[in-house]
Structure 1
Amino acid sequence: MHAPLAPYACDPARSRGRRHPEPPAPTRTEYQRDRDRIVHSTAFRRLVYKTQVFLNHEGDLFRTRLTHSLEVAQLGRSIARSLRINEDLVEAISLAHDLGHTPFGHAGQDALHDCMAGYGGFEHNLQSLRVVDRLEERYPAFNGLNLSFETREGILKHCSQAHARELEAQEPGGVGRRFLLRQQPSLEAQLCNLADEIAYNAHDIDDGVRSGLLTLDQLREVPLFDRYRAEAQAEHALLREDGAQRRLLNEAIRRMLSAQVYDVIDATQQALAQACPTDVEAVRSAPALVGFSAPMRVLSQELKRFLFRNLYRHPQVMETTGRAKQVVRDLFAAYLDEPAEMKPRFAARAQAADGVASRARVVADFIAGMTDRYAGREHERLTGQGLLG
């Protein structure tokens, strides 16, 4: 049986509501309803063919945006239960947080941002909000999924001041306002941000070793990982054998994840005890309350720096991501020049667009929605080049 929600948790009965009012569901809370809409969306299904570090054609067992989102949701729910905040809201935000990500991971995002430099730029968190607010077409009465304010707030993890002002003009007092007031989002949204970081650090180690680009010997440089590698080998003689490398990696990562989860719970409980927020609005006015302890934050940052140097900047990864960026740049130029090459509904939107900036945004929406393999096929169709194998 679950403990009752804390007073500073988001209560679905007190939600700030949806942009298009709807009658309540008879058997589900507002946040459960959001989660279900996200899971059934087209954008969510596409995540299975959008990758993190390794591109879709490079192997069947590397993480995708879909498996990553599930891992974030699992970590988030585990922590939320201990903090007595809303698990369903955490799950909804976790499952939706990457819906706006481009094909080819951060390489695709960076390339599309460069292409859109003269037209307002491209931010994947803002694109995730566009997906759930506008681009999904499932309901007769409105565009988007019509999610609750609290889920939409959590999806918009980062936002530039310029885009926040645009959002505020479109929706006064809405999800853009906190960036203008420099306030925090809900605890549930804060938790999703941190669960995202914990998940990708752990699975990038796993995928890096699986790919052969990282070795267990290299990972001895990482104190956060090496401590749990050593503990696991000390407790299990089997893990000291040469043929047990996969089991050793899995066990070290499992222990590392558990340590980070318990650290977040303890550090956040201490921060909450000190700040004593009485409700959600008090959380928004306080400093960030969900986080690591200071020692764990240092260890996590060391791990991130290691991954940046040894995995994300590995020559093999850089070569592949360079080709992926070229695919995105070529697609953007081709569609901007000939919008009719896009799918009919995007071609129609581009044709009706008021000016080149609006047309470019339609092109960005189309490209951002692509899976890795669809983008590769489209590029080959339009250019005759097979850049991605």
Structure 2
Amino acid sequence: MSDMQARYAADPAQTRGRVYRPSASPTRNEFQRDRDRIIHSTAFRRLQHKTQVFLHHEGQHFRTRLTHTLEVSQIGRSIARALRLNEDLAEAVALAHDLGHTPFGHAGERVLAEKMAPWGGFDHNVQALRVVTLIENRYADHDGLNLTWETLEGILKHNGPVVGGASKHGQDIGAALAEIPASCGLMPETYASLEAQVAAIADDIAYNAHDIDDAARAGLLTIEDLVDVPLVGTIAREVLDLWPLLDRKRQMHEVQRRLITRTIESVIAEGAERIAETDLKSADDVRQAGRMLIGFPAEMAAGEAELKRFLFAKVYRDERVMVPVRESEAVVERLFDAYMAEGDMPGRWGAAFRSAADQAKQARVVGDFVAGMTDPFALDEYSRLFDERPDFR
């Protein structure tokens, strides 16, 4: 462990290991190797063509899953460094956290969760675990990326402990983990490492700020819309007072960057206080702490929840967003139904469907295939199967 790291930080020299023993690396620690494997994976590259909120055809400057992931990674490293945690593990978890997302953002996930409900369910965090342990298949001697236990734990518990046997979207966790040999002993009911908690809060910070930015770019928000919104309203008023005549785009960027800075600084201060109160002596103590140790202070948490509600009503459910959402949901639904009926999938996916032992196994093959699609590939498949192209406008 580095002398700069706290005693409760994850130590790559003390990792619980990998399923397959890798060759030694003279230049990288184990968490750095995880980061590199994720970045070089096919699933990571596909994120550049997966929707965050606004579809690709609506403009070239909106966030995609890839640009969002990179922003989360940067924020996660900043927080981890300030709290003397392991930056490499925080970065690895951040880079992997959205690998299980479907095409067309949360719209695709909602459809797959509904379609897969009779067959064990679907959840993007669990799907990310499947991606890095089963679906990526480029290595000569094993499937998956063969990541460390700590990175896998962070992916599984991205939203906190998994209790009650089911994920947020209703996927049967026990059944899902039974299919993944690398998940042995991940202890889904305990808290994840501080580094994984940092990656999770970085996700919230990133999408709150960039959804405001993208919504303004799309013409759904103005800075005046924000002045009475908790958490961001004070910042919006500051910017208007300081630069009332500044170009609107630059005003909104100033709001965004100030929001990111203030939330990061508050999370660092709150995390340091909670850690001190808990008297952690090791990384394992974090898992038994009984609460999340990285989070927003209470007043900011309440404001952040209000900001989310505002964005849900003002942006995510705006009819200009919902028209392409409904179209994309129909695309994913029709693709899933067609594959289940005919098994008409290319390459190894079609072969896996035909060799599946039962309908539940077939459904999981279809779910894996659809979840891995980029937006453009899903549209191409839709055109191939139905000889038509959806109108997202």
Shorter-normalised TM range: over 0.9
Residues 106-125 of structure 1: pairs in structure 2 closer than 5 A: 106-125=106-125
Partner secondary structure for residue 240 of structure 1? coil
The corresponding residue for 1:258 is 261
Contact 1:24–1:30 at 8 Å: present in 2 too? no
The corresponding residue for 1:345 is 348
The corresponding residue for 2:335 is 331
CA positional deviation for 1:217: 1.9
Residues 61-80 of structure 1: pairs in structure 2 closer than 5 A: 61-80=61-80
CA positional deviation for 1:24: 2.6
Query: What TM-score, normalized to structure 1?
Result: 0.94
The corresponding residue for 2:273 is 270
CA positional deviation for 1:219: 1.5
The corresponding residue for 2:41 is 41
Using a 3 Å threshold, how does the CA distance of structure 1 residues 172 and 275 change in structure 2: closer, same or farther? farther
- Gaps of at least 5 residues in structure 2 are 167-171
Query: What TM-score, normalized to structure 2?
Result: 0.93
CA positional deviation for 1:55: 1.2
Query: Which whole-Å CA distance do the structure 2 matches of 1:145 and 1:361 have between them?
Result: 20
The corresponding residue for 1:201 is 208
The corresponding residue for 1:188 is 195
CA positional deviation for 1:274: 0.3
Contact 1:103–1:371 at 8 Å: present in 2 too? yes
Letter in 2 for 1:254: R
CA positional deviation for 1:168: 5.6
Partner secondary structure for residue 387 of structure 1? coil
The corresponding residue for 1:217 is 224
Using a 3 Å threshold, how does the CA distance of structure 1 residues 92 and 380 change in structure 2: closer, same or farther? same
Partner secondary structure for residue 231 of structure 2? helix
Using a 3 Å threshold, how does the CA distance of structure 1 residues 323 and 171 change in structure 2: closer, same or farther? closer
Q: CA RMSD for the aligned pairs?
A: 1.7
Q: Return the match for 2:233 from 226, 235, 244.
A: 226
Query: Which whole-Å CA distance do the structure 1 matches of 2:110 and 2:350 have between them?
Result: 24
* Bigger helix share: 1
The corresponding residue for 2:53 is 53
Contact 1:57–1:373 at 8 Å: present in 2 too? no
CA positional deviation for 1:255: 0.8
Contact 1:167–1:176 at 8 Å: present in 2 too? no
The corresponding residue for 2:30 is 30
Query: Which whole-Å CA distance do the structure 2 matches of 1:315 and 1:234 have between them?
Result: 32
Query: Which whole-Å CA distance do the structure 2 matches of 1:149 and 1:45 have between them?
Result: 23
Query: Which whole-Å CA distance do the structure 2 matches of 1:282 and 1:175 have between them?
Result: 20
Deviations 1:238-258 (A, max 9, x none): x311x6111110011111111
Contact 2:133–2:180 at 8 Å: present in 1 too? no
CA positional deviation for 1:170: 5.5
Runs of 4+ residues over 4 Å off in structure 1: 167-177
CA positional deviation for 1:218: 1.4
1:178 is aligned to 2:183: no
Percent identity between the aligned chains?
Answer: 49
Residues 287-306 of structure 1: pairs in structure 2 closer than 5 A: 287-306=291-310
Letter in 2 for 1:89: L
The corresponding residue for 1:374 is 377
- Gaps of at least 5 residues in structure 1 are none
For this pair of structures, how many residues does the alignment match? 381
CA positional deviation for 1:388: 3.8
Query: Which whole-Å CA distance do the structure 2 matches of 1:298 and 1:187 have between them?
Result: 22
